[in-house]
């Protein structure tokens, strides 16, 4: 077999032919482990450098797929690793980069996982794929399914931003809004999976979502000249983007292409900070939150599916957690756009707000290499962004009203 599945909680191993989702023993998150010893002799820097494939199909040896042609035709990466000179000067951080995933086909990082999951569904012969989402994962799934003609069933809380719901509908997604929270949508989606036999893409449930998300880390490594950053700031809800990004660096380390993994820094909104609170309290497990309130809908999660695994990752990489207020998030949208030209949605801007706070608290150094992951375009939630700006009143069409 190309890979095996290993539980991140109890360490039991499974063949992928015998299991689809979580560990049957403890319900822990499953990790995909490849034949790293074999890959050491076949995957070198030169192999990466000479690979003519431009998108994430270039990583087929590190994806749980039979062939790269199974992937949907929409281009997934490489997204820019922006050399943000004005922002560097503003923050006095000399080696700061922005990983700009707003440029992906449906405008968010979630395209990475949805592309791989749709490819996996095709290879497994699945007819219907389903997910629960606050918007971005659902939008990404609908878009990828549209590109290959695969049916889907998409559960979203009714509070999801209208722009995201419009995207899903435009892609022909079978949209099922729920009168409840994201966590309730996840629960109903799993029930439907068990009853109707649909293929479930849910984050923190299907092990291959992490495999799709890890492609961002592989790109960062290549874009930095086969080097890694010192610190990586990640907007965090379920903890799966964090887990996926870590997994990309983990794979590179297992192959021997890097000798350490960057410090992983989860950033959460104060009203949805189950993982960061557990880190600050030195807890071994993440306690679910009963009341989740934040403008950052994409990371509004009460019971993080990858919460405990995220704790392991942050501690093993000598990272730390950061909490930011909604006011700090809204301000970060404007500041990031002003100094970089990148318009981020609230959840994405949360990562930048976290970097600012860490800088103020002396947790990052001027010469450290830092990457901030920006996971979604601000066009997905314009009403929230409008809180950070004011639009001037219209003037008469006369030069006397123009200031110089």
Per the CB < 8 A criterion, the answer to whether 134 and 163 are in contact is no
The residue among 134 and 87 whose pLDDT is bigger is 87
pLDDT digits (tens, 9 = 90+) for 215-265: 999 999 999 999 999 999 999 999 999 999 999 999 999 999 999 999 999
pLDDT digits (tens, 9 = 90+) for 76-99: 999 999 999 999 999 999 999 999
Query: Angle at CA 144, nearest 5°, toward 246 and 49?
Result: 50
Q: What is the pLDDT of residue 259?
A: 96
Say how far apart CA 296 and CA 375 lie, in whole Å.
12
CA 103 to chain centre: 14
Which of 128, 175, 172, 129 lies closest to 156 in space, CA to CA?
175
Bond prior to 241 in cis (omega within 30° of 0):
no
pLDDT digits (tens, 9 = 90+) for 145-204: 999 999 999 999 888 888 889 999 999 999 999 998 888 998 999 999 999 999 999 988
Which of 307, 205, 220 lies closest to 257 in space, CA to CA?
220
Query: Angle at CA 259, nearest 5°, toward 255 and 261?
Result: 95
Strands laid side by side in the 174-178 sheet = 174-178, 151-157, 128-132, 199-200
Q: What is the pLDDT of residue 253?
A: 98
Domains identified in the chain and CATH numbers: 81-107+209-388 (3.40.50.1100)
CA 75 to chain centre: 17
Per the CB < 8 A criterion, the answer to whether 8 and 29 are in contact is yes
């Amino acid at each position: 077999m190309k890979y095996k599945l290993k539980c991140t909680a109890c360490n039991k191993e499974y063949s992928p032919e015998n299991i689809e989702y979580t560990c049957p023993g403890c319900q822990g998150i499953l990790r995909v482990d490849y034949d790293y010893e074999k890959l050491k002799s076949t995957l070198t820097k030169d192999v990466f450098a000479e690979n003519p494939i431009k998108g994430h199909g270039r990583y087929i040896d590190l994806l749980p797929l039979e062939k790269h042609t199974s992937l949907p035709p929409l281009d997934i990466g490489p997204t820019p690793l922006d050399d943000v000179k004005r922002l560097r000067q503003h923050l006095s951080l000399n080696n700061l980069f922005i990983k700009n995933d707003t440029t992906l086909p449906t405008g968010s990082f979630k395209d990475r996982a949805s592309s791989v999951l749709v490819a996996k569904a095709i290879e497994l012969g699945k007819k219907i794929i389903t997910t629960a989402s606050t918007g971005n994962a659902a939008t990404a799934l609908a878009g990828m399914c549209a590109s290959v003609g695969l049916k889907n069933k998409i559960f979203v809380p009714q509070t999801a931003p209208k722009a995201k719901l419009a995207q899903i509908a435009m892609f022909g997604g079978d949209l099922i809004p729920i009168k409840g929270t994201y966590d309730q949508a996840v629960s109903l989606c799993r029930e439907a999976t068990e009853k109707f036999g649909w293929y479930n893409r849910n984050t923190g449930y299907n092990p291959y979502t992490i495999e799709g998300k890890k492609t961002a880390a592989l790109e960062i490594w290549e874009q930095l000249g086969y080097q890694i950053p010192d610190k990586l700031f990640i907007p965090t809800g379920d903890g799966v983007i964090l887990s996926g990004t870590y997994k990309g660096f983990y794979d590179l380390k297992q192959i021997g292409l890097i000798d350490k993994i960057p410090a992983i820094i989860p950033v959460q909104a104060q009203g949805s900070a189950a993982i960061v609170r557990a880190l600050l309290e030195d807890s071994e497990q993440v306690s679910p939150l009963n009341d989740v309130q934040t403008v950052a809908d994409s990371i509004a999660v009460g019971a993080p599916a990858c919460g405990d695994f995220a704790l392991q990752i942050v501690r093993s990489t000598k990272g730390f957690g950061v909490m930011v207020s909604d006011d700090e998030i809204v301000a970060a949208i404007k500041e990031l756009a002003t100094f970089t030209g990148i318009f981020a949605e609230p959840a994405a801007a949360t990562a930048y707000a976290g970097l600012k706070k860490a800088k103020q608290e002396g947790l990052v150094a001027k010469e450290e290499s830092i990457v901030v992951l920006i996971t979604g375009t601000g066009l997905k939630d314009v009403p929230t962004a409008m809180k950070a700006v004011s639009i001037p009143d219209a003037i008469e069409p006369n030069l006397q009203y123009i200031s110089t």
